[in-house]
Copies of this chain bind each other. A is one copy, B any other.
Amino acid sequence: MTFAEYLDTRRKQVDAALETWLPKPPACPAVVFEAMRYSLMAGGKRLRPLLVLAAAEGTGQAMGTSEAAARDAAMPAACALEMIHTYSLIHDDLPSMDDDDLRRGRPTSHVVHGEGMAILAGDGLQAAAFQLLAREPQGLHPTLMARKLRVLAIVAEAVGPAGMVGGQAIDLAAVNSHSKSASSASSAALVDGSASSAAPLDADGLQAMHARKTGALIRAAVAAGAVMAGADDRLAGTLDTYAAEIGLAFQIVDDILDVEGAAATLGKTAGKDEAAGKPTYPAFFGLDRSRTLAAECHARARQALDSAGLLDSRLDDIAGWIVNRTS
């Protein structure tokens, strides 16, 4: 199976599982179901569920257990992480956050369903994700219960105020600070939590913000797959190194694509991030150095895979895809 075929196969499995597990009428009122489904089934890359499944498969491969069984055990976590990612996009797009009207060429949730219903769709997707992670068939084996609780704890911490939500809060405070052109606290103080007022981010602050905002969920995805497949501590640690590196690479490439996309658009001199006063890697380091930084992350991620004997796993393909993607 080529990597393109692999992506296609897994995405279809994830989409089918998402359709099955998304709470629906009559249990769930149609108004909020439709708002949740509109964003959840909008055809994203499915990067996080793919990472969950590939980490589970890789763990099965490294531990000498069944890759298919590992993948099946990880599918609820794969779907839960996509629900959480979708909730974060809906809330990030709100007028009081990034104020985006379009995502993937379609009007954003609040444009279609109104701001209040968009907030509720996000809230509902977060709860639905934890409901899926907690699903407990009667008489679960203690080993499996322990894995599920561990994944719940990892995911909740990664998406909460110390993780994704905290990163978004730093981002919001930094952009507000930029737009007000007023600052009394240092960037480092904002990120490490010692200051409550906002300041523009420097390069270290930018990296710390992204480590929370996008990095934490990507690491949680890999950890969830590894834990559900029974990774030992050493393998879990190695896979976490891989995840941290590709998470950072993902964000650097995102910033590069924003600049390149803007440059390709006639009459537009800078990308959306720059226009919004958002700090980016190209703004701090320039395009060439940013590309080098992404390549260095990629190399370190592959080194981690190599040390676990997983260079021939789909985790390596996904790392390459993240760094070399054009959209």
Q: A127 touching B149 by the CB < 8 A rule?
A: no
Task: Name the residue of chain B whose CB is nearest to the CB of A167.
Answer: B29
Contact A126 B126 (CB under 8 A): yes
- B176–A153 contact, CB under 8 A? no
- Which of B25, B115, B125, B152 touches A96 (beta carbons < 8 Å)? B115
Residue A172 lies at the interface, judged by CB distance under 8 Å to chain B: yes
Contacts A161-B32, A190-B29: A114 and B96 contacting too (C-beta < 8 A)?
yes
Question: Bound state CA distance, A195 and B26, in angstroms?
Answer: 10
Residues A32-78 near B (CB distance < 8 A): 32-36
Q: Determine whether A140 belongs to the interface, using a CB cutoff of 8 Å to chain B.
A: yes
CA distance A163 to B127 in the complex (A): 10
Q: What residue in chain B is nearest A136 (Cβ atoms)?
A: B149
Q: Are B120 and A165 in contact (CB under 8 A)?
A: yes
Contact A170 B136 (CB under 8 A): no
**A23 in the interface (beta carbon within 8 A):** yes
Copies of this chain: 2
| A27 in the interface (beta carbon within 8 A) | yes
Mask, A16-31, CB within 8 Å of B = 1, is 0000000111111111
Chain B residues within 8 Å of A163, by CB: 127
Of B28, B134, B160, the residue contacting A124 (CB under 8 A) is B160
A15 within 8 Å of B by Cβ? no
User: Nearest B residue to A35 by beta-carbon distance?
Assistant: B169
Is chain A's binding surface mostly helix, strand, loop or mixed?
Answer: helix
Write the nearest CB–CB distance from A168 to chain B, whole angstroms.
Answer: 6
Q: Which of B26, B28, B165 contacts A127 (CB 8 A)?
A: B165
Residue A186 at the B interface, CB < 8 A? no
A307 sits at the interface (CB 8 A) = no
Q: Assess whether A270 is interfacial by the CB under 8 Å rule.
A: no
- The verdict on A124 contacting B196 (CB below 8 Å), with A31-B170, A136-B150, A145-B149 known, is no
Q: Is A162 an interface residue (CB 8 A)?
A: yes
26 A-B pairs (CB sep. < 8 Å): A24-B193, A28-B161, A29-B166, A29-B169, A29-B170, A30-B190, A31-B169, A31-B170, A32-B166, A91-B123, A97-B116, A116-B172, A120-B169, A123-B123, A123-B126, A123-B165, A124-B160, A126-B126, A127-B160, A130-B152, A130-B156, A131-B160, A134-B149, A135-B153, A145-B149, A152-B152
Q: Could you list which residues of chain A lie within 8 angstroms of chain B, going by C-beta atoms?
A: 23-36, 87, 91, 94, 96-97, 114-117, 119-120, 122-128, 130-131, 133-136, 140, 142, 145-146, 148-150, 152-153, 156-157, 159-163, 165-166, 168-170, 172-173, 176, 190-196, 198, 212
